[in-house]
Amino acid sequence: MVTRLLLIADTHVPGRARVLPDAVLAAADAADLIVHAGDWVAASVLDELEEHGEVLGVWGNNDGADLRARLPEVARHTIEGVRFAVVHETGAATGRERRMDVAYPDDDVLVFGHSHIPWDTTTPCGLRLLNPGSPTDRRRQPHKTFLTLTVEAGELRDVELVVV
């Protein structure tokens, strides 16, 4: 069985964009699971994504009490035997791999946000770290981005950074 995922973070609606980009909504419709790593800003974004499919999400530092009441700080979900964890913030890039190995020893993939910087590395202990960037606020990055991937037979496949 193949499970298709959309990974997004830092949508910052309505602060950085009025609405989610059409490319994000199309990817949400194509996904079996939508993963959002925090900084939604408006609960309406969660509501909208839930209309497109199942959502696994966490709150971020810019999310208010309404989102914090609906979402955890850390979320976990096992897909096809792959153990995913989702969190908004992981701290500085320097030393991230080693810190995350200690913080998430029982997970296979950690999806995170906060920096708006796309990230795809594997830690010394084998934890895959994925940050989809932001589909609405590129900050100092060349493009607005999100990630898509599939999970099949216990493996991540087709990990693609999509430019909005």
5 in Cβ contact with 35 (< 8 Å): yes
Beta-strand pair 119-122/128-131: antiparallel
Q: How confident is the model at residue 140 (pLDDT cuts 50, 70, 90)?
A: confident
Q: pLDDT tens digits, residue range 16-53?
A: 888 999 999 999 999 999 999 999 999 999 999 999 99
37 in Cβ contact with 87 (< 8 Å): yes
Number of H helices, E strands in the chain: 4, 10
Q: pLDDT tens digits, residue range 83-103?
A: 999 999 999 999 999 999 999
In this structure, which amino acid lies at residue 137? D
CA angle, 98 then 154 then 4, to 5°: 100
Please give the Cα distance from 80 to 71 (Å, whole number).
23
- Which of the following CATH numbers is that of domain 2-163: 3.30.420.40, 3.40.140.10, 3.40.50.970, 3.60.21.10? 3.60.21.10
Provide the greatest CA pair distance for the chain. Answer: 40
Is it true that the peptide bond before 14 is cis, omega within 30 degrees of 0?
Answer: yes
Q: Which residue has the tokens 């939604």?
A: 40
Report whether pLDDT(10) > 90. Answer: yes
